[in-house]
Amino acid sequence: MIVPCSAVAAKVNFEIFCPELAGNWAGSAAKWGEAPKAVTVTGVCSGDRRQLILSVSVGTHAPFSETWWFRAQGERVLLTYFDGVSADKQQLFSLYRQQGNYSLLGEGEINARPALIQLLFEVKAGAGQGQAWQWTQNMQYLDTDIDRYQLFRGIELNPVPPVLSR
């Protein structure tokens, strides 16, 4: 079987990914089986492009914002997740790019079971305001015969134009 080059994901440096998610975003978010809720997301990329903080506000499962802190660690990406309620979580990922989409893949544990975790940022058709993304948080248990990802949560990232001061 021949696989076209465009279908193959390639590892990329975090410095390419980081500035793509910087900015102010709005959209809806929902966990699997739940009604969507309006959210705002603020993305800040450090000057050296080695750290990205995504703050997800409103509509989260906790009464506080979620903070997703991504840091380049050599060829890997370390994520520290805070939600203000449960203990902070950390996970190492590899970063891939395929046809403009980004995928962070890592092995971890969900519900005390080994799992492959994917954070997928897919390019979405924007409304003329700039690049939009669909951020899905997916998981696949490694102790079953099911070999596909299950959607855990999705977040729309539609660009919010900056407010001009007078």
Confidence band of 145 (pLDDT split at 50, 70, 90): confident
Structural domain span for residue 88 = 9-159
Q: What is the 3-state composition of the chain as percent helix, strand, coil, each rounded to the nearest 5?
A: 5, 55, 35
Does residue 134 belong to any structural domain of this protein?
Answer: yes
Does residue 1 belong to any structural domain of this protein?
Answer: no
For residue 27, list its beta bridge partners: 39
Does residue 166 belong to any structural domain of this protein?
Answer: no
Does residue 165 belong to any structural domain of this protein?
Answer: no
Confidence band of 3 (pLDDT split at 50, 70, 90): very low
Does residue 164 belong to any structural domain of this protein?
Answer: no
Number of domains in the chain: 1
Q: What is the pLDDT of residues 33-77, one digit of tens each?
A: 889 999 999 999 999 999 999 999 975 555 668 999 999 999 999
pTM of the model: 0.86
Strands 132-141 and 150-159: antiparallel
What is the average pLDDT score of the chain? Answer: 88
Task: Flag the least confident range among 27-36, 60-69, 101-110.
Answer: 60-69
**What is the CATH number for 113?**
2.40.128.20
Does residue 105 belong to any structural domain of this protein?
Answer: yes
Share of the chain above pLDDT 90, in %: 65
Does residue 38 belong to any structural domain of this protein?
Answer: yes
Q: Residue 21 is encoded by which pair of tokens?
A: 């998610």
Q: Residue 1 is encoded by which pair of tokens?
A: 């079987």
Does residue 3 belong to any structural domain of this protein?
Answer: no
